[in-house]
Structure 1
Amino acid sequence: MDNRISLQLMLDATGHVTSYATVGGLTGATTYEGEIPDEFLTSTQPQAFKLIDNVLTKDPNYVAPIPEAVKHQPSDEQRFQAQLALQMATMQKKQAEFNAQVLLQVADIKETAETPVTSATQATPTAETK
């Protein structure tokens, strides 16, 4: 397979590829005509490739940067504290719900005690006619 190609390469100060164009051009880019590593065009990290003595090669010492989200993961202690805080909040919520139910029951008992009991059937005098 012929891996010769013409590219426009943007390089950083160490000679690593920061971006490239296979069609058209990039302002301030270096024109490269030569062989490319097999995985260069399919790689999602062009920074892993370096121009050494005008030959594009994969840098064996390249280490992918760690994304910011991964750098700032909580410690085991912070995870434990967050889990404990969540458990406490859950318990407080359940306690508040229980307290509300008790207050409703107390209010129902008071309402029942204050309501006068009326007789359903009252005796009404009837007049006799002769």
Structure 2
Amino acid sequence: MQIKLDKTKHVVSYALVGGLEDAIDYDESQLPADFLTATDSSAYWLIDGVLTKDPNYAPSIQPVVEDQPSDEQRFQAQLALQMATMQKKQAEFNAQVLLQVADIKKAPSTPATSTAAETSATSATPVTSETPVTPATQATSAAAAETK
């Protein structure tokens, strides 16, 4: 086993397998019973070649820092959410417009035609649907109109 010590001879780290740089060899059979299960190996130090628990050791208490976003971070997050929402709505609107343009382009482009009823209502000569007009009757009708 290898043990790495600091200037005060407290254990900084140890290795059961392999080695550590600037570490010393230590006999595993000489380890205190709770050394391998201890959560903080720096509570042990080497005095006269023997690892013992330091009676004056007090673990350093690290303040608990809750990772809370600052007001600026919250504002930036809200702004990013608003921008994303606006972009989504704009994309949906653009998709609807493109669909409408595609529908317009697919529709057949035929000129508007008038029906017989519309023609008779707008023309000066009434058209009756009861008597079919043939070329012979058209010529006779035209000649009769000229003689009058």
Structure 1 length-normalised TM: 0.51
Which residue number in structure 2 is paired with residue 84 of structure 1?
78
Matches for 1:24-103 after TM superposition, within 5 Å: 26=20, 28-32=22-26, 34-38=30-34, 40-43=35-38, 45-46=40-41, 48-51=42-45, 53-54=47-48, 55-57=51-53, 60-63=57-60, 73=67, 75-103=69-97
SS of 1:84's equivalent? helix
CA RMSD across the alignment:
4.1
SS of 2:86's equivalent? helix
Separation in 2 of the partners of 1:26 and 1:98?
61
Structure 2 length-normalised TM: 0.47
Larger Rg: 2
Separation in 1 of the partners of 2:43 and 2:94?
65
Separation in 2 of the partners of 1:64 and 1:15?
21
Shift of 1:99: 2.2
Give the number of equivalent residue pairs. Answer: 107
Separation in 2 of the partners of 1:87 and 1:27?
51
Which residue number in structure 2 is paired with residue 17 of structure 1?
11
Higher relative contact order (CA 8 A, sep 6+): 1
Point out the structure with the larger strand share: 1
Separation in 2 of the partners of 1:117 and 1:44?
89
2:36 partner amino acid: L
Point out the structure with the larger helix share: 2
